[in-house]
Amino acid sequence: MRAIPLKSFASLAVVGLLATGCGQGLLGGDDGDKAATANDPIVLGMLIPQSGSEAAIGPYMSNAAQLALDEINAKGGVLGRKLELKTADDACDAQSAAAGANKLVTEGVDISVGGYCSGATLPTLPIFGKANIPMIIPAANSQELVDQKLKHVFLINGTGSQQAGAAEKWIAKQGAKSVVLMHDNTSYSKDIALRTKALLDAPGDAEAVLVETVTPKESDYSANITNVLAKKPDFVYWTGYFQEGGLIARQLRQAGYKGSIMVGDGSVSPKLVEIAGAEAAEGVYATMTQTPDTLEGAEGWIAAYKKKYNADPGPYSNQAYDAVRLAAEAVTKAGGTDGAKVVSALEAIDGFSMFSGPLKFTPEHTLSNGGFQILVVKDGKITLQDSLK
Amino acid sequence: MTQLVWNGLFVGSFYALVALGYSMVYGIIKLLNFAHGDLYMLGAFVGFAILGAVGGVSSSMALPLLLVVLLATMVLTGLAGVALERVAYRPLRRAPRLSLLITAVGASFALEYGMRAAAGADPRVYPVRLGGTSVEVLGARLTLQQLVLVGVAVVLMIGLNLLITRTREGRAMRAIALDPRTSSLMGIDVNAVISRTFFIGSALAGAAGVMAGAYYGKIDFLMGFLIGLKAFTAAVIGGIGNIPGTMLGGLLLGLLESFGTFWLGGEWRDVFAFGVLILFLTVRPTGLLGERVTERV
């Protein structure tokens, strides 16, 4: 796994080549197709992790997307055309994501509604961009995605800076004095950690005493934890994913750490509790956007999901569901699937009702309100602690 | 300080156990068995399956039960190693070294993604876990369970060393390492000895896998990749092919990582640990206890 940064660079280069290579050809062919076959289904593409370390998340998202799709199709579809969903596996890995995005483009996707891991979503931006495919990203939320300032990219999850803001608010509310930030050196995780540190560095009670980097995919974090405990913190904030998050929470408690532990949205998963063990996970806080468990007035939706899949919706189910509904709305407003028109329609949307509240995009194509709240592990379940309103 | 040493030794004993298999196989047939880390993963999953079949146990019985599971897993993983050698390596023993190396890489992927197909991509959590509260000894926090695990590792390593230096079997292994053809002329059944070497090496990796699963709790199909690379490194530092050297190499790598994290922070740990290793190998290319061997072609 040490090879990841290198691999990502390599795949970025490959992505660039592929995108320039086949993007133009497809672009030309695509437009012609669209005019000729106005009654064909509108195809939504979804890149999600179906394998690899984050594979648990994939079904939560694709199931919810399919649910939204079925509801819309039952009402007659969009502009008289049915919606269709095509998924591809990004394995939370830049190379697989680039391959998956190219596959979706060749399959004639009109709008992309996927993207969970930020590091895997980043290289897909130019691929969809070259093919003139608007992207509504339900989950991936690293600031790096925003900083590209791409016209076809819209984020409907709160961003890294919004998450850092929520973290800082909760740290202040808890009256913590010395805070340790831990990240796994991926763009998403490091971004949140450093933004939180910047906020904590401003005058106030809490102070960031250490930013500790861990190597993902390992089992033993005792060396890092020795570093952390040497600073005698009363608050530790882990901004990476749940596999390491569970181990870190457990090993912190084993080492006798008594203070608060908080994790970022990538760690919000029932697996976190399982890996940490019920005892060590108890009382762990998390910064997270709305999950099905914390939504207000979503009982009907949860019941529909349960009925269809015989399972509970999970993290990012609601965002994936909203991404599909939003895509349908934008196509309706644009009167077709032309990329530029859909983008304008998305920019013009004001007050579209979503789980995260009425939608209006900022000029940067992010939510005007990130909607982050604080969850807590209580009796082994992840529940709402404070909505930070 | 003692805490850093203890952290390093604890992680290092895992590295050492896995590295031994690398080193033994290389010592005997000059094969870098890149699938070795995946045998560690296989061991963790075999242990997981056995524990799942046994069902719930009270926590007081956890340790004895785990020791039994450990032994059963060692046997099964050892047999898997023998099968791997029979299927993937033996037919290629006279082939160019590179073909063998690529077969090893292929075997590694086959094991990883075969396990993904069988057990799924989701990480699994061991049903029986060694938790335990820590006690302070000379300023270092350690748990009884850690001591037991290190104890098991030490016993396995001492046993292996005795086997190699004191028994007929060990003498046969050393003879093959020196010259397989002459050994065979002297009446040693070379294939059988190589099979047994794979058995022992794989069993040790399987033991490390179960121990890691029980202690850390989380196992997944890619868990062998990183530790495989680390173990390979440990074997080379120690002097690949040399058993005591390999053990020392594992412990040294663990200590370097522990101190690297402390001195320079987590993001510089690997730069530090591997930088030191490069320097060390430029000064002493054969590793800590390795001897200069003439390449046989």
pTM of the model: 0.80
Name the residue in chain A with its Cα closest to that of B260. A223
Chain A residues with CB inside 8 Å of B225's CB? 1, 217
**Which pLDDT belongs to residue B31?**
87
Task: Give the pLDDT of residue A37.
Answer: 55
Residue the block writes with tokens 């199931």: A63
pLDDT digits (tens, 9 = 90+) for A137-162: 999 988 888 888 999 999 998 888 88
Nearest CA in chain B to A56: B122
Whole-angstrom Cα distance, residue A86 to residue A109?
A: 8
Helices (H), chain A: 4-36, 57-74, 94-106, 118-121, 124-130, 143-147, 160-173, 187-201, 222-230, 242-254, 270-276, 278-281, 299-309, 317-334, 339-348
Residue B267 in contact with partner chain A when CB distance is under 8 A: yes
Pick the residue with more confidence: A175 or A296? A175
* Residue type at position B133: T
pLDDT of residue B131: 66
CATH of domain A4-157+297-355: 3.40.50.2300
pLDDT at A240: 92
Burial zone of A231 (CB within 10 Å; 0-12 exposed, 13-18 middle, 19+ buried): middle
Angle of helix B223-238 versus helix B36-54 axis, rounded to 10:
130
Instruction: For an interface test with B, give the residue of A6, A184, A219, A267 to mutate (most B CBs within 10 A).
Output: A219
The answer to whether residue B57 scores a pLDDT higher than 70 is no
Report pLDDT for A369: 78
Contacts of B269 in chain A (CB under 8 A): 215, 223
State the ipTM, two decimals: 0.85
Contacts of A185 in chain B (CB under 8 A): 267
A254 CB neighbours in chain B (<8 A) are 131-134, 143
CB contact under 8 A, B223 and A51: no
What is the predicted pLDDT for the residue at B148?
Answer: 86
> Which residues, 6 or more positions from A113, have their beta carbon under 8 angstroms from its beta carbon?
A44, A45, A46, A65, A135, A136, A138, A320, A323, A324, A327
**DSSP letters spanning A294-357:** G-SS-HHHHHHHHHHHSS---TTHHHHHHHHHHHHHHHHHHTS--HHHHHHHHHH-EEEEETTE
The SS3 of residue A29 is helix
Nearest CA in chain A to B213: A219
* Torsion angle, alpha carbons of B289, B281, B234, B232, to 10: -120
Task: Report the candidate in B225, B228, B253 with the shortest Cα–Cα distance to residue B238.
Answer: B253
Give the residue extent of every domain in chain A: 4-157+297-355, 161-288+372-386
Tens digits of residue pLDDT in A148-203: 899 999 999 888 888 999 999 999 999 999 999 999 988 889 989 999 999 999 88
CB contact under 8 A, A219 and B218: yes
| Chain B residues with beta carbon closer than 8 angstroms to that of A249 | none
Please report residues of A whose CB lies closer than 8 A to that of B217: 246-247, 250, 275, 277
A271 vs B contacts (CB less than 8 Å)? 122-123, 125
pLDDT confidence of residue A212: 93
pLDDT digit string (tens) for B244-280? 899 999 999 999 999 999 988 888 888 888 888 888 8
Chain B neighbors of A215, CB-CB under 8 A: 226, 266, 269-270
User: Residues A216-223: what's their mean pLDDT?
Assistant: 89
**Candidate from A223, A246, A256 with C-beta closest to B261:** A223
pLDDT category of residue B60 using cuts at 50, 70 and 90: low
Q: Does A227 touch chain B (CB under 8 A)?
A: yes
Q: Does B113 touch chain A (CB under 8 A)?
A: no
- Could A212 and B258 be called an inter-chain contact, meaning their C-beta atoms sit closer than 8 Å? no
Cβ–Cβ of A53/B123 closer than 8 Å?
yes
CB pairs under 8 A between A and B: 98
Q: Is the CB of B218 less than 8 angstroms away from the CB of A247?
A: yes
Lowest mean pLDDT among A59-63, A259-263, B26-30, B171-175: B26-30
CB within 8 Å of chain B, chain A residues 2-31: 2
Residue A29 — very low, low, confident or very high, per pLDDT cuts 50/70/90? very low
> What's the confidence (pLDDT) of residue A307?
92
Do the chains contact at A275 and B218, CB–CB below 8 Å?
yes
Q: What is the DSSP letter of B297?
A: -
Instruction: State the nearest Cα–Cα gap between A52 and chain B, in angstroms.
Output: 6
Q: Which residues pair with A261 in a beta bridge?
A: A236
Give the tens place of pLDDT for each residue, B227-251.
998 999 999 888 888 888 999 999 9
Question: Is B93 strand, coil or helix?
Answer: coil
Beta strands in B196-278 (DSSP E): 218-219
Closest CB to B134 among A226, A243, A254 = A254
Residue A99 pLDDT: 95
- Does residue A217 sit at the B interface (CB-CB below 8 Å)? yes
> Does the pLDDT of residue A349 top 50, yes or no?
yes
pLDDT tens-digit profile of A248-291? 999 999 888 999 999 998 898 888 999 999 889 999 999 988 77
- Among residues 253-272 of chain A, which lie with CB inside 8 Å of chain B? 254-256, 271
Cβ-based contacts of B141 with chain A (< 8 Å): 255-256
Same fold, A4-157+297-355 and A161-288+372-386: yes
For residues A55-69, average pLDDT: 91
Site of tokens 């033991």: B207
Q: What percentage of chain A has pLDDT greater than the value 70?
A: 90
Interface of B with A in 1-30 (CB under 8 A): 3-4, 7-8, 10-11, 14
Contact state of B10 with A222 under an 8 Å Cβ cutoff: yes
User: For residue A51, what is the nearest residue in chain B, using CA coordinates?
Assistant: B121
How far apart are alpha carbons B167 and B76 in whole angstroms? 23
Would you call B123 and A275 a contact, using CB atoms and an 8 Å cutoff? yes
B241 and B27 Cβ atoms separated by less than 8 Å: yes
Please check whether residue B211 is in contact with residue A242, taking contact to mean a CB–CB distance below 8 angstroms.
Answer: no
Q: Which residues of B touch A258 (CB under 8 A)?
A: none
pLDDT of B58: 64
**What does A337-351 look like in DSSP terms, one character per residue?**
--HHHHHHHHHH-EE
At B248 the pLDDT is 92
DSSP one-letter string for A194-210: HHHHHHHHSSSS-EEEE
Nearest CA in chain A to B223: A217
B120 close to A (CB below 8 A): yes
Contact at CB, A219 and B216, closer than 8 angstroms: yes
CB contact under 8 A, A1 and B265: no
Give me the amino acid identity at A121: T
Mean pLDDT of chain A: 86
B141 closest CB neighbour out of A51, A246, A256: A256
Domains of chain B: 2-283 (1.10.3470)
Distance CA A247, CA A243 (A): 7
Q: How far is A365 from chain B (nearest CA, A)?
A: 33
Give per-residue pLDDT as tens, B110-145: 999 999 889 877 788 988 887 666 777 777 888 888
The pLDDT of residue A57 = 85
A275:B222 CB<8 A: no
Query: Which tokens belong to B100?
Result: 């063998």
Distance CA A174, CA A204 (A): 13
Q: pLDDT tens digits, residue range A78-123?
A: 999 999 999 999 988 899 999 999 999 999 999 999 999 988 999 9
Asked if B212's CB is within 8 angstroms of A219's CB, the reply is yes
Res B21 pLDDT > 70: yes
CATH classification number, A161-288+372-386, choose in 3.40.50.2020, 3.40.640.10, 3.20.20.70, 3.40.50.2300:
3.40.50.2300
